Structure 1
Amino acid sequence: MAEESVSNGASNGDVPEIELIIKASTIDGRRKGACLFCQEYFMDLYLLAELKTISLKVTTVDMQKPPPDFR
């Protein structure tokens, strides 16, 4: 599982923190995969993170070997 945090200098006390769990790439299982639904949500939430209204944490999940807590 890979994690990427987009905070842009905003403190965690005044903005909500959102974790987006998306499908990982089938090539290496770590990069963002080619899922249209995941991409749409990522683009919307990334824009909000750029505007510093949310703190965004992106986690990729390898669908070939999902973690036990994901199931």
Structure 2
Amino acid sequence: MKRIITVFAGLSLAVGATIAGTSCSKEQDWNCKCTVNGNETTTVIRDKTRKEAKAECDKSGSVLGVDYNCNLQLF
């Protein structure tokens, strides 16, 4: 019985890791939320992988040398 539970837990962990890993590599819509001086703005980034969206969000978070606090979230 212990062996069955261990195998099931291992398979669940492997499937969960695979799903989490592939969801970041496919193109999706993302929210880029930036905060500066207490004011929050949200920009939608469409049809990008997580890596591309993160780069775009970080780029929009630095204008004229002022760094904003930006967070990326799945739309």
TM-score calculated relative to the size of structure 1: 0.29
Larger radius of gyration: 2
Relative to its length, the structure with more strand (as a share) is: 2
Relative to its length, the structure with more helix (as a share) is: 2
- Greater relative contact order: 1 or 2 (C-alpha under 8 angstroms, separation 6 or more)? 1
